[in-house]
Copies of this chain bind each other. A is one copy, B any other.
Amino acid sequence: MDPRVVRELLERVRGSDVSVEEALETLRQLPFRDIGVANVDHHRALRQGTPEVIFGERKTVEQIARITEEMVRSGSNVLVTRVNPEKAAALTLRVPGFRHAVEARTLWLQVTPVPPRGRGPVAVVTAGTSDIDVAEEAVETLLAVGLEPARFYDIGVAGIHRLLHRLDDLRKAAAVIVVAGMEGALPSVVGGIVSAPIVAVPTSVGYGTALGGFTALFAMLTSCASGVVVVNIDSGFGAAMAVHRILKD
């Protein structure tokens, strides 16, 4: 419950600027506030500058277009994730202003400037080149919430020198997102050499015993480096949102 809004309303009731029935209706329309859920909506994107997010995989072009238009009308930026090239093409034609990040498979429509958060860069690290699309989804999401991504791609553990070579830069990051498929070993190594928060993203890269990402997932969860946390397979978006929570203030 946002005290200022309700106090103002109550004062207008007392001053008879607003009838009891009107005030009742207003409160009724604010349903979530009276159980104190205003922050929820806050968190879920109604503020200026924080984007609305649409999970595009199971939605039609028409559905995404309509939701986007409504959101834009209310002043929100819009991020659409998991759109394939066909949908993306149709949507950029249909909704003016969409920017398509091809590798990230995202669409971005900005109607309000995104204020920079003023936190250090967020390192986005991948083990191989095949993990880059998931990493780019993280990058686009970070940009959408005002964070500054720094890419460190293809520095997997089978050539450990590639990682060590970037160590100084990695250590400057405010948080690190580590994206890796196959055996998912990279977060353990990174966890041992940087002390920032580390969010690991397993990817479905690999075949056979890679188990569609589950081997990397389990490897990351059972990592011998302490304090590494994990999100769902291929969820670059989830990792970026976790960093969004971590670097909130």
A residues bordering B, Cβ < 8 Å? Answer: 1, 3, 6-7, 10-11, 13-14, 16, 20-21, 23-24, 27-28, 30-32, 34-37, 39-44, 53, 57-58, 127-128, 130, 156-162, 164-165, 167-168, 171, 182-185, 188-189, 191-199, 202, 204-211, 213, 215-235, 237-238, 241-242, 244-246, 248
Beyond known contacts A32-B161, A222-B232: 6 more, CB 8 A cutoff: A31-B165, A57-B207, A127-B224, A195-B248, A209-B222, A226-B241
Identity of the chain B residue whose Cβ is nearest the Cβ of A38 in the assembled complex: B161
Instruction: State which of B205, B211, B216, B244 has its C-beta within 8 Å of the C-beta of A227.
Output: B244
- A221 proximity list for chain B (CB < 8 A): 208-209, 217, 230-233
Q: Is the CB of A158 within 8 A of B245?
A: no
15 pairs from A and B in contact (CB 8 Å cutoff): A31-B34, A31-B35, A31-B164, A32-B165, A43-B195, A160-B192, A198-B245, A208-B221, A208-B232, A208-B235, A215-B222, A218-B218, A227-B238, A227-B242, A229-B229
Per the bound structure, the CA–CA distance linking A211 and B215 in Å amounts to 10
Per the bound structure, the CA–CA distance linking A16 and B10 in Å amounts to 11
- A227 proximity list for chain B (CB < 8 A): 238, 241-242, 244-245
Instruction: State which of B20, B128, B160, B222 has its C-beta within 8 Å of the C-beta of A210.
Output: B222
Q: Is the CB of A40 within 8 A of B237?
A: no
Q: Is the CB of A215 within 8 A of B215?
A: yes
- A231 proximity list for chain B (CB < 8 A): 221, 228-230
Q: Is the CB of A218 within 8 A of B211?
A: yes
Identity of the chain B residue whose Cβ is nearest the Cβ of A42 in the assembled complex: B195
